[in-house]
């Protein structure tokens, strides 16, 4: 949706001339009324652009990401209510809701649609080839077929990736350094997210080269997590690795509680989850990616095409180690690993 010009329409002099009998004041008044009627409403105030958002989680857990985006919009000179309105829908961890959400969003004629999970972006791409789509913290957009390349995305889609597909081998390296005896890893993934399946295959292949066994445990919805937990408990792994996925991020507190109960060391793909109880956490800041997504929206509203906007990759990856969790588990993290951490939570 293109914003209409706020330049007033020229007043037609022939209308004024026909309304003026000489110097008649009433005629002048009528002419002025006609001239005002010729001015469109948007000449006085252009309507704010509608930004739709397909959020994979809940309002309670995703709210700080929305606020990070609003902060980015303010930093880019855009005020909510004046320049844009935000229309957020929440899937609450149920990715099967994305088709209905996409349909509802597009019916409201948005200027831009924001999406996070790979399945949501794919559904939007099937539904529209014209409405710009901006993805945020999305895994492997090229390998998932969302864009042609990072430098030249093509089509109507661009955004910010999390590079989680390239970081998964780092998690196994961290595990080997922090917990040398660990040989059995349970990998928790969302089976409704094809990018998770591909990430697991990379984990398994890399782990095999280090004589570490990685076994997958899947859940497609929050309701399926308990079954996955029971299976993991029976497997009795040395560590639990969580693959990057919005539904799993949404339920990370349940994952932490389960792991502590079963005394299993945990590895998370975002630094924020190290602060919430995961033993090791490595990755790029998700709130920062949402804040930076505002720059894409600003440029698109100004007329830029997604096809010409390169996909942004994070440049900073933080390692967070939770020593409180280590003490609870009776684990001693080597100093060589602690010294490399960006944050150590005591």
CATH number of the domain enclosing 174: 3.40.50.2300
37 & 76 share domain: no
For residue 336, is pLDDT > 50? yes
- What's the first-to-final CA gap in the chain, in angstroms? 50
| pLDDT for residue 168 is more than 60 | yes
Q: Are residue 151 and residue 299 in the same domain, yes or no?
A: yes
11 band by pLDDT with thresholds 50, 70 and 90 = very low
pLDDT value of position 38 = 52
Q: Which residue has the higher pLDDT, 312 or 18?
A: 312
What does the pLDDT look like over 284-312, one tens digit per residue? 999 999 999 999 999 999 999 999 999 99
Please, which pLDDT band fits residue 166 given cuts at 50, 70 and 90? confident
Across 272-304, b (16+ Cβ under 10 Å) vs e yields: bbbebbbbbbbbbbbbebbbbbbbbbbbbbeee
Please state, for a pLDDT cut of 70, what percent of the chain lies above it. Answer: 87
Q: Are residues 151 and 221 in the same domain?
A: no
Supply the pLDDT for residue 140: 94
Q: Domain range holding 28?
A: 1-47
Does 215 share its domain with 299?
Answer: no
190 and 304 housed in the same domain: no
Average pLDDT value for residue range 31-44: 47
Strand partners, 344: 321
> Are 229 and 334 found together in one domain?
yes
Asked whether residue 201 falls in the same domain as residue 65, the answer is no
- 338 and 203 housed in the same domain: yes
Is residue 16 scored above 60 in pLDDT? no
Do residues 29 and 59 share a domain?
no
Between 147 and 8, where is the model more confident?
147
Q: Are residues 105 and 156 in the same domain?
A: yes
User: Mean of the per-residue pLDDT values for the chain?
Assistant: 89
pLDDT band at 43 (very low <50, low <70, confident <90, very high): very low
Residue whose structure tokens are 């095999």: 208
Same domain for 276 and 326, yes or no, is yes
pLDDT of residue 53: 98
Burial of 207 (0-12, 13-18, 19+ CB in 10 A): buried
Which secondary-structure segment (H or E) carries 243?
none
**pLDDT of amino acid 165:** 86
Asked whether the predicted pLDDT for residue 25 surpasses 80, the reply is no
| pTM, rounded to two decimals | 0.83
Residue 303 near residue 232 (C-beta atoms within 8 A): no
Q: How many domains does the chain have?
A: 3
pLDDT tens sequence across 83-138? 999 999 999 999 999 999 999 999 999 999 999 999 999 999 999 999 999 999 99
Mean pLDDT confidence for 156-175? 92
pLDDT at 162 over 70: yes
Q: Are residues 236 and 204 in the same domain?
A: yes
- Most distant CA atoms of the chain, gap in Å: 101
């Amino acid at each position: 949706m293109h914003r209409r010009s706020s330049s007033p329409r020229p007043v037609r002099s022939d209308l004024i001339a026909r309304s003026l009998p000489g110097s008649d004041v009433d005629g002048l008044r009528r002419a002025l009324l006609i001239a005002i009627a010729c001015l469109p409403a948007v000449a006085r105030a252009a309507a704010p652009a509608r930004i739709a958002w397909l959020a994979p989680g809940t309002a309670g857990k995703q709210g700080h990401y929305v606020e990070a985006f609003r902060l980015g919009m303010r930093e880019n000179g855009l005020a909510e209510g004046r320049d844009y309105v935000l229309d957020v829908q929440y899937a609450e961890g149920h990715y099967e809701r994305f088709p209905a959400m996409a349909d509802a969003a597009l019916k409201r004629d948005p200027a831009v649609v924001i999406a996070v999970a790979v399945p949501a972006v794919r559904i939007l791409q099937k539904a529209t080839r014209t409405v710009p789509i901006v993805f945020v913290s999305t895994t492997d957009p090229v390998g998932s077929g969302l864009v042609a390349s990072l430098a030249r995305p093509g089509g109507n889609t661009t955004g910010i990736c999390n590079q989680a597909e390239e970081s998964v081998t780092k998690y196994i390296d961290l595990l080997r350094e922090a917990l040398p005896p660990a040989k059995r890893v349970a990998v928790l993934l969302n089976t409704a997210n094809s990018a998770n399946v591909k990430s697991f295959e990379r984990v398994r292949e890399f782990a095999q080269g280090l004589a570490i066994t990685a076994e997958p445990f899947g859940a497609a919805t929050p309701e399926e997590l308990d079954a996955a937990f029971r299976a993991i408990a029976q497997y009795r792994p040395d560590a639990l690795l969580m693959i990057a996925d919005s539904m799993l991020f949404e339920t990370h507190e349940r994952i932490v509680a389960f792991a502590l109960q079963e005394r299993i060391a945990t590895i998370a793909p975002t630094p924020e989850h190290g602060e919430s109880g995961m033993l090791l956490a490595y990755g790029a800041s998700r709130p920062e990616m949402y804040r930076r997504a505002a720059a894409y929206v600003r440029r698109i509203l100004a007329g830029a095409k997604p096809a010409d906007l390169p996909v942004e990759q994070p440049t900073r990856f933080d390692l967070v180690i939770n020593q409180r969790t280590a003490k609870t588990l009776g684990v001693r993290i080597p100093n060589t690993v602690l010294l490399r951490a960006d944050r150590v939570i005591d």
